[in-house]
Chains A and B, each alone.
Chain A
Amino acid sequence: MATIAHGTPEIAAEEVNYLNVEHGWKSWLFTTDHKRIAFLYLISITAMFFVGGTMAVLFRINLLEPEGIFSSETYNRLFSMHGIVMVFFFLVPSIPATLANFLIPIMIGAKDLAFPRINLLSWYLYVFGAIFTIYAVARGGVDTGWTFYAPYSSTYSNSYVLSAVMGVFVAGFSSILTGLNFIVTVHKMRAPGMTWSRLPLFVWSNYATGLLQVLGTPVLAISLTLIAFERVAHVGIFDPNIGGDPILFQHLFWFYSHPAVYIMILPGMGVISEIVACFSRKRVFGYNFVAFSSMAIAVLSFFVWGHHMFVTGEAMYTSVAFSFLSFMVAVPSAIKVFNWTATMYKGSVSFDTPMLYAFGFIGLFTIGGLTGLFLAALATDVATHGTYFIVAHFHYVMVGGMVMAFLGGLHYWWPKITGRLYPEAWAKFAALIIFIGFNLTFFPQFILGYLGMPRRIHAYPPEFQALNVLSTAGASILGIGYLIPMIYFAWSIRKGPKAPANPWGATGLEWEIQSPPTTYNFDETPIVTKEAYDYGPLEEVVG
């Protein structure tokens, strides 16, 4: 279709791969190659991450002073957009739409996803959604928080709620389509011999994520539609003045948004399973349990949404049930943490960058998850709801967990994706900076939260200043930490040393093909005879 390589001699000499088969923007924008689409996604979500991150930096600056620096209007718009952009346009699509999109077909020995064109469509939907949202920002922003609670969002707010809601709605469909694609692909496209018990854990966790996306997202879509109706036509569905119940919106919203937090962690867990296995040169301890726990999380996560509503006047007995179920869903997470740790036992552990991120993930996710238990317990939730304790909790799991996993995975598969190596020393340095910056930013927020500092405020009592200053300092370190990989990745795409097919000595189909892969991944469909983590002879542990 597009003009074939009027490329430099250097490129012409290169093996043909998915990056250089075709050139020109058309070959990218109309591609149906899952790898190219993953690349498009990678660029778009990175852009959105920096949009969201810049907002975070701005409002963190505001929080240096107790009385605030910006007006409350500005501040409210900043954190709302930060939440919306980060959740719906960065973290939800982060690993699934990039790494998993790239890797699932390869890992299961397929040429592409089941529906390549739907895959492209989902990217376009994502972009449309993002445009709507950016448009909302440009017009003056949204000030409802990422949770869009009625009746504030439906009746009172005079910001650009509609276009933001539209944006999220459209992006939601993009997410549904990605999930649908994964589910069908995993069911139908596995290479001969790739049985369920041989699937890499990364595939398992993304399969579970797909279920969450497919089952949860439509409910978000409908609840946002109802908000939109209410805003446009004042139909009264969430309007207490005519007997509508604002709490109903919260039920519908959290029915999606709680499972969504697992959409935002399961793929990360999958990445960590791969990394830990590879850099310990060992099969994952308790493969079945790790795989099964992903599914358990996916199913159980739909039973706990009410834990966001303990203080809204939700019925007492319902709250108790939701509290109990929230603890249930924590068990499979615990299983995973223990299994990763056990995987290193008697391994051969190396400290390459991806592994450093995996360490970071295990540590920070544990802290974030354990503080989730504080919130699942009714009495301590009452004491901390709506405060910075919550903010700290979810940044620990989302940034300390998922973003770490995303970066880890990106480093791990970077050679495969681009065919280039990144500078290891810089990468280690950045990982360290990010770890330090992260803890400095968010640990003080636990303390602030129990002291009672509410979230979403632009001005706060002076006695909280010291901790807030610490937190802002941490955020700037963190910001710099995120810039470094940006720079060396950009460098590496053009100038990085060529990567071999299997730089880490890892197992798995993706490492058996060239880096970067050709358009159809495999010359002929592979026949799988081994399990995913075949690092050598086996020894049973008894006991």
Chain B
Amino acid sequence: MPASLTLLLADLQLFPPAASAQAGPIDDLYWFEIIVSAIMTVLIFAAVILFAWKYRRRANVRATQIEGSNVLETTWSIIPFLIMLIMFWWGAKLFFAAQNPPKDAMEVFVTGKQWMWKVQYPDGSHEINALHVPVGQPVKLTMASEDVIHSFSIPAFRVRHDVVPGHYDSLWFTATKPGRYRLYCTEYCGNAHASMSGWVEVLNDRDYANWAGGGSHGSLAEQGQQLFEQNGCSTCHLLDQQGRCPILRGVYNKPVQLDDGRTVIADDSYIRESILDPNAKVVSGFQPNIMPNFKGQLSEEQVIQLIAFVKSLSPPTPASQQGGQQRPVVIAPKAKAPAKAPAASAPQQ
């Protein structure tokens, strides 16, 4: 057995690689917590051992009764609390910073289903349980689930987000070190939950260009265009003239006036909802119940392609930079946002 033991130990790893821009800062916090914990643990162990030994029971020595001490109690409530405040503040700061992707983030779509991750790129290529990203480039994942809750996790990047069916979840990171890292599903999702894992490949620019160049299938938007024809969207949504339906050209990321008076930004989630549950938000001036419900007929992957097509109908203007997937800089309601007039609910900064 010793042989196999050494083999095991050779693999022994104690700390994960840090391969994204946010990994470092999170590790710093982690180490801070470890050090605080170590100090506290040692202090308490030391005190327990010291007292237990020094005041061990001896004949004729009686315990000294002590009532307590408010000063001590206050000290050992306040000091830990202050230390905890640091942890809280630090953790929250990093968490906030991880919320919204930078404007120039490259967008990749991820669909989770029992039991695999399907990854789609804007150029139309797709892969299963694998993700290729260029180094140094912020990447935003837009994630949907076909069935139950999954959770997309890349430990080396210290990122993770649940993928809840019914809407888009997102996640972003900037990979900093070329290499292969594991990705997992970390929300229990049924029998083969364990095999819902794969690899992230971080490539340097040249390798990434090579890898990305190979696509022969049309871009995501082109695939979306095909679906647009096949599913009869084009019969109603004529590209340039308005019939019973809104024109989709130029809609993306613009505010849309709804029939109940609300205004929403036509982002990915909004378009997804418009396709899968068109009546949830009806554009003002149009009738509900005309557009058929595509739930159950289109998979989340196909919806992603359609969105890419709709997006391509709104060519980036100087104001909205490349790719078109930017979020408005001002705080804007996410499209899933239920109810509430945005003016009332959007807190400024």
Contacts and interface: CB of A to CB of B under 8 A. Distances in A.
In this complex, the interface size class of chain B, counting residues with CB under 8 Å from chain A, is 35 or more
A457 B147 CA distance: 19
Contacts of B15: 450-451
A247 B190 CA distance: 18
B307 to A, nearest CB: 18
Given A330-B84, A541-B68, A348 B63 contact: yes
B3 interface: no
A346 B195 contact: no
Among B36, B40, B48, B185, residue most surrounded by chain A Cβ atoms (within 10 Å) = B48
Interface string A46-84: 000000000000000000000010001100100000000
A150 to B, nearest CB: 8
A539 B64 contact: yes
Contact of A541 (B44, B69, B169): B69
B148 A335 contact: no
Interface in B162-214: 162, 164-167, 169, 182, 184-195, 197
A367 B169 contact: no
B184 A543 contact: no
B95 A378 contact: yes
A526 interface: no
B107 to A, nearest CB: 18
A34 interface: no
A16 to B, nearest CB: 35
B65 A538 contact: yes
A373 B65 contact: no
A385 interface: yes
B62 A377 contact: no
Contacts of B166: 240-241, 243-246
A363 interface: yes
Nearest to A250: B149
Given A246-B149, A370-B40, A383 B45 contact: no
Contact of A452 (B16, B30, B63, B296): B16
A334 B66 contact: no
Contacts of A73: 191
Contacts of A323: 88, 91-92, 95
Contacts of B8: 465-466, 469
B182 A382 contact: no
Interface stretch (A286-294, A405-413, A517-525): A286-294
Given A348-B61, A379-B95, A366 B41 contact: yes
B14 interface: yes
A458 B149 CA distance: 19
Contacts of B81: 327, 331
Given A359-B52, A536-B65, A451 B155 contact: yes
A207 B172 CA distance: 46
Contact of B37 (A331, A367, A386): A367
Contact of A241 (B25, B36, B156, B295): B295
Contacts of B62: 281, 348, 536
B73 A345 contact: no
B67 interface: yes
Interface in A8-49: none
Nearest to A382: B160
Contacts of A380: 26, 29-30, 33, 91
Interface string B40-64: 1100110110011001111001111
Contact of A351 (B13, B56, B72, B156): B56
B92 A374 contact: no
B43 to A, nearest CB: 9
A385 B149 CA distance: 14
Contact of A72 (B93, B182, B192): B192
A537 interface: yes
A145 B188 contact: yes
Given A311-B160, A347-B51, A386-B153, A362 B65 contact: no
A15 to B, nearest CB: 31
Nearest to B195: A459
Contacts of A334: 76-77, 80
Among B45, B93, B188, residue most surrounded by chain A Cβ atoms (within 10 Å) = B188
Interface stretch (A185-193, A313-321, A421-429, A486-494): A313-321
A451 B16 contact: yes
Nearest to A378: B95
B159 A382 contact: yes
A332 B313 CA distance: 58
Contacts of B51: 341, 344-345, 347, 349
Nearest to A283: B65
B186 A377 contact: no
A140 B62 CA distance: 60
A379 B26 contact: yes
A266 interface: no
CB-CB nearest 7 A-B residue pairs: A452-B155, A240-B166, A377-B91, A386-B186, A378-B95, A286-B68, A379-B94
Given A312-B149, A341-B51, 14 more contacts: A246-B165, A280-B63, A282-B63, A330-B84, A344-B48, A347-B64, A363-B48, A379-B29, A450-B155, A452-B155, A465-B8, A466-B11, A537-B65, A543-B69
Interface of B: 8-9, 11-16, 25-26, 29-30, 33, 36-37, 40-41, 44-45, 47-48, 51-52, 55-58, 61-69, 71-73, 76-77, 80-81, 84-85, 87-88, 90-96, 98-99, 114, 147-149, 151, 153, 155-156, 158-162, 164-167, 169, 182, 184-195, 197, 277, 280, 295-296
21 contacts: A72-B191, A76-B190, A144-B188, A152-B149, A243-B280, A245-B166, A312-B164, A320-B92, A324-B88, A327-B88, A335-B76, A345-B55, A347-B63, A349-B56, A362-B48, A366-B41, A377-B90, A377-B92, A379-B25, A382-B160, A466-B12
Interface of A: 68, 72-73, 76, 143-145, 149, 151-152, 155-157, 240-241, 243-247, 280-283, 285-289, 310-313, 316, 319-320, 323-324, 327, 330-331, 334-335, 337-339, 341-342, 344-351, 359, 362-363, 366-367, 370-371, 373-374, 376-383, 385-387, 447, 450-452, 454-467, 469, 535-543
